[in-house]
Chain A
Amino acid sequence: MLNTTSLSLDQAPPISIPFRFFLTAPLFAIAAGLQLLMFGGELFVSRWLPLTLGLTHLMTLGVLGMVMCGAMLQMLPVIAGSPVPRVVLVGTLTHVLLLLGTVLLETALVTGSAPATLAAVISLGVGFAVFIAATGVALWRTAAPSTTINGMKLAVIALAATVLMGIAAALGYSGAGRIEQLALLTDFHLGWGVLGWIGLLILSVSFQLVPMFQVTPEYPLWIRRYLPNSLFIGIVVWLLFQLGFIQSEWVDLSATLVLGLVVSGYLLFSLNTLRLQYQRKRRVPDVTLLFWRLGMAMLGCCALLWVSGKLFPPIGNSRYFSILLGIGLLQGVALSIVNGMLYKIVPFLCWFHLQNRQLALMCMTVRMPHMKEFVSDKSAQRQFHLHLTGLVFAAVAAVIPNWFSRPAAALFIVSNSMLLFNLLVAVRKYRSTLKLLLPTMPGTVSGSSTTA
Chain B
Amino acid sequence: MPAISTTMSADHRRCDEIFSAAEALVSAGDWSAGGDRFIAFRDAMLNHFSMEEEKLFPAFEQHLGHTMGPTQVMRMEHNQMKQLFSEMQQAVKARDDAQYLGLSETLMMIMQQHNMKEEQMLYPMMDQTLGQKGGEMARQIEAH
A-side interface residues toward B, CB under 8 Å? 1-2, 4, 7-10, 78-79, 81, 143-144, 146, 208, 212-213, 215, 281-285, 344, 347-348, 351-352, 355-356, 359, 368, 370-373
Number of A-B contacts (CB under 8 A): 101
Contact between chains at A78 and B20 (CB < 8 Å): no
Which B residues from 37 to 80 make CB contacts under 8 A with A? Answer: 64, 69-70, 73-74, 76, 79-80
Alpha-carbon distance between A370 and B20 when the two chains are bound, in angstroms: 18
- Chain B's closest residue to A146 (CB) is B120
Q: Which of B27, B112, B121 contacts A81 (CB 8 A)?
A: B121
Cα distance A373–B103 in the bound complex, in angstroms = 10
Q: Does B138 touch A at the CB level, under 8 Å?
A: no
Q: Which residues of B contact A352 (CB under 8 A)?
A: 80, 109-110
CA distance A1 to B76 in the complex (A): 27
The 8 Å CB contact of A281, one of B17, B69, B103, B105, is: B17
The residue that B116 contacts in the complex, of A212, A215, A348, with Cβ under 8 A, is A212
A-B pairs with lowest CB-CB distance, top 3: A372-B102, A370-B102, A81-B121
- CB <8 Å contact, B124 and A283: no
Q: Is B113 part of the binding interface, using a Cβ–Cβ cutoff of 8 Å?
A: yes
CB pair B116–A344 under 8 Å, yes or no, is no
Tell me how far the C-beta of A216 lies from the nearest C-beta in chain B, rounded to whole angstroms: 10
A79 and B16 within 8 A (CB): no
CB distance B106 to A351 under 8 Å? yes
Q: Which residue on chain B has the smallest CB distance to residue A358?
A: B83
- CB distance A284 to B121 under 8 Å? no
Docked Cα-Cα span, A81 to B129, in Å, equals 17
CA distance A167 to B120 in the complex (A): 37
B70 to chain A, nearest CB (A): 5
Closest to B79 in A: A359
Q: How far is the CB of B140 from chain A (nearest CB, A)?
A: 23
In the complex the two chains form, is A283's CB within 8 Å of B20's CB?
Answer: yes
CB-CB under 8 A from B89, the residues of chain A are none
Tell me the bound Cα distance from A208 to B122 in angstroms.
Answer: 17
- Whether the Cβ atoms of B116 and A371 lie closer than 8 Å is no
Instruction: State the CA gap A146–B5 with chains docked (Å).
Output: 14
List which B98-144 residues lie within 8 A (CB) of chain A: 98-99, 101-106, 108-110, 112-113, 115-117, 120-122, 124-125, 128-129
Q: Which residue of A lies closest to B104 (CB)?
A: A284
Assess whether B120 is in contact with A4, with CB atoms less than 8 Å apart: no
Q: A4-B129, A9-B121, A281-B17 are in contact. List 10 more A-B contacts (CB 8 A).
A: A7-B122, A8-B69, A208-B116, A282-B20, A282-B24, A344-B109, A348-B110, A352-B80, A352-B110, A371-B106
Question: In whole angstroms, how far apart are the Cα atoms of A344 and B113 in the complex?
Answer: 12
Q: Can you identify 13 A-B contacts, CB atoms within 8 angstroms?
A: A4-B70, A7-B70, A7-B125, A9-B70, A9-B117, A144-B121, A284-B24, A347-B106, A348-B109, A351-B109, A352-B110, A359-B76, A370-B99
The answer to whether B17 touches A355 (Cβ under 8 A) is no
Residues of A near B122 (CB, < 8 A) are: 7, 9
Is B27 a contact of A2 with CB atoms below 8 Å?
no
Question: Of all chain B residues, which has the CB nearest A345?
Answer: B109
Instruction: Bits for B2-13, please: 1 = Cβ < 8 Å to A, else 0.
Output: 000000000000
Write the nearest CB–CB distance from A366 to chain B, whole angstroms.
Answer: 12
Choose one: B79, B103, B113; the contact of A370 (CB below 8 Å). Answer: B103
A284 pairs with B83, CB closer than 8 A: no
Q: A79-B116, A215-B16, A355-B83 are in contact. Are A372 and B101 (CB under 8 A)?
A: yes
Question: Which residue from A2, A213, A281, A351 sits with its C-beta under 8 Å from B125?
Answer: A2
- The complex places the Cα of A9 from the Cα of B117 at a distance, in Å, of 7
Chain A residues lying within 8 Å of B105, measured Cβ to Cβ, are 370-372
Chain B nearest CB: distance from A363 CB in Å? 12
Q: Which residue of A lies closest to B99 (CB)?
A: A370
- Alpha-carbon distance between A238 and B69 when the two chains are bound, in angstroms: 46
Are A213 and B74 neighbours in the complex by a CB distance under 8 Å?
no
Asked whether A212 lies within 8 Å of B106 as measured between CB atoms, the reply is no
CB nearest neighbor in A for B17: A281
Bound CA span A202–B21, Å = 29
CA of A1 to CA of B124 in the docked complex: distance in angstroms?
10
A144 close to B73 (CB less than 8 A): no
Query: Which of A1, A8, A208, A215 has its CB near the most chain B CB atoms (within 10 A)?
Result: A215
User: Min CB distance, B58 to chain A, in Å?
Assistant: 16
Q: Could you tell me if A284 and B76 are in contact, using CB atoms closer than 8 angstroms?
A: no
Q: A144-B120, A283-B27 are in contact. Are A371 and B70 (CB under 8 A)?
A: no
